[in-house]
A and B are shown apart, each in its own frame.
Chain A
Amino acid sequence: AQTVTQSQPEMSVQEAETVTLSCTYDTSESNYYLFWYKQPPSRQMILVIRQEAYKQQNATENRFSVNFQKAAKSFSLKISDSQLGDTAMYFCAFLNSGGSNYKLTFGKGTLLTVNP
């Protein structure tokens, strides 16, 4: 079974600075998908970024980018120019290729606080 580990329960960053959230996973599969979801105080989880394991290029979405190290099974999220609205729980998730979304495995989350 796959596992997803987020080793930082909480982090904080000053507004406009850069922060990196860590995620490692364990799998014997060679093809899969990785996600970062954000859950703000409104509680509605929103997809931040998605990475396909067979793509070597790191995914980017505006201020959000990932550092995907397949051999190390690491998938960190970098947030540049942090904004107050980035304050949220961030969840890393893993999905096997070929499986339906119900095989999505989540980590325990990292609570990020952006300070003014």
Chain B
Amino acid sequence: ETGVTQTPRHLVMGMTNKKSLKCEQHLGHNAMYWYKQSAKKPLELMFVYSLEERVENNSVPSRFSPECPNSSHLFLHLHTLQPEDSALYLCASSQVSGVGEKLFFGSGTQLSVL
């Protein structure tokens, strides 16, 4: 069992649909992250939760709504997306202690918006 699990692996949705991405970490970490990975662009940090509180929201459109019900689970709720939102969405976790800890990533959800 991998440390960070993301579902679904692939998702195709219309612009009017509502869907959710799920992430679960089994590592006992205290922080979780959503990243967007688009072709030929650096990874873009979307949201960060530390101790279940949102500590970072990088000017992400409101059509993306995160939820962190506990330290092991993270969701990204999607509604009325645009075609340019098609990308790989990566979840990560870490144990934050201020000394440059590494991130543990899931395998991502490949999202296609039609």
Contact = CB atoms under 8 A, between A and B. Distances in A.
A53 to B, nearest CB: 9
Given A33-B100, A44-B2, A108-B40, A102 B45 contact: yes
A50 B94 CA distance: 15
Contact of A100 (B40, B98, B102): B98
Interface string A90-107: 010001011111101111
B66 interface: no
A41 B15 CA distance: 28
A101 B42 contact: no
A105 B105 contact: no
Interface residues of A, number: 27
A42 to B, nearest CB: 6
B45 A104 contact: yes
Contact of A108 (B42, B92, B102): B42
B55 interface: yes
Given A43-B108, A100-B31, A100-B98, A106 B42 contact: yes
Interface in B72-110: 88, 90, 92, 94, 96, 98, 100-103, 105-108, 110
Interface of B: 2, 31, 33, 40-43, 45, 48, 50, 55-56, 88, 90, 92, 94, 96, 98, 100-103, 105-108, 110
14 contacts: A37-B103, A43-B88, A43-B110, A44-B2, A45-B90, A47-B102, A52-B100, A91-B43, A98-B98, A101-B103, A102-B33, A102-B45, A102-B48, A102-B50
